[in-house]
Amino acid sequence: MIDFVNYFINGALVGLLYALIAMGFVVIYRASKVFNFAQGELVVFGGFIVWWMVASLGLPLSIGIPLAFVAAALFGLLVERVFFSRLAGESVFAMVMVTIGLLILIRGLILVLFGPQVRSFPIIFPLQPVIIGEILIPRSLLIGGAITVIVGFGLSWFFNRTRAGLRMTAVAEDHQVALSMGISVKRSIAFAWILGAVLSTLGAIIFLSGKSLNFLASDIGLAALPVALLAGFEAIAGVLLAGLIVGIIQGLVTAYLDPIVGGAIGTVFPFIIMLLILFIRPTGMFGWKTIERV
């Protein structure tokens, strides 16, 4: 029973990490109606920025991490200005193809600037686990889970209760209609990319604290994809629930089924559950039925 509780809790915390990464998908989609295939690369780039500030330049965490968030925000703004500012009102297909090119570009940029070597990521959170009886909880995931819940409800409030958030929602509905209402589509999309880059950097800090870093860490973006699809690309708060579902299922399947089948079925099982649910409800659990899927 203790083993089950350990697998359940740790799976839930991993799921919340996926949810934080998935919020980057959702934020960009809600403002620009674009599925960002380069989300995993944004996470890795944010991780390298933190590594460069803290490990390479030797800045203390209290200075290096805030500067890394500023740098990530500027990078997100640069991406929007260079690649998406001229695409307002264009087809969704055109914008999605740009994100595929962006994925290749960011990966190449990482290799040019930082090389293919594996780096030791700074220890942001204490490595000692939280021990409750026989239950062991990784401290970084526990703190990250709390941060994810706060960020999730904060973003949900922003998009549903503030004028700026509602304007971004209107932009997601239709660029041309938003323009006719006097809403700055370019400004909304720029803010979404800034926020997406900052969220990716936050996810990198939680995911990589005390671990190794190279460009292959971008696989976390693929792991978070079932969460975004399961929740629906428009539901911020729903991402938290979807993350818990995916993380718990993955943790239990990995613990109990992988030894039986002798394979990594836990890695693919969340995608199977995602496909089954999307077959019943294509917009996800909380998605808008009127939004065209990509």
For 264-277, the pLDDT digits (tens) are 777 787 778 777 77
Asked whether residue 285 is domain-assigned, the answer is: no
CA 93 vs. chain centroid, Å, equals 21
The pLDDT, as a whole number, for residue 284 is 67
Cβ count within 10 A of residue 91: 9
What is the domain count for the chain?
1
Specify the range with the lowest mean pLDDT, choosing from 159-163, 186-190, 274-278, 281-285.
281-285
Q: Tell me whether residue 268 is in a domain.
A: yes
* Burial category of 2 from C-beta neighbours within 10 Å (exposed 0-12, middle 13-18, buried 19 and up): exposed
Q: Is residue 290 part of a domain?
A: no
Q: Which residue range is the domain that position 163 belongs to? A: 2-280
Q: Give tens-digit pLDDT for 72-114.
A: 999 999 998 888 777 665 666 777 788 888 899 999 999 888 8
- Determine the pLDDT at residue 135: 87
Is there a domain that residue 204 lies in? Answer: yes
Kindly report the CATH number assigned to the domain that includes residue 92.
Answer: 1.10.3470
Examine residue 292 and state whether it is found in any structural domain, yes or no.
no
CA distance 154 to 99: 27
Domain contains 254: yes
Q: Does residue 132 fall inside a structural domain?
A: yes
Distance CA 165, CA 188 (A): 9
- Assess if residue 213 is contained within a domain: yes
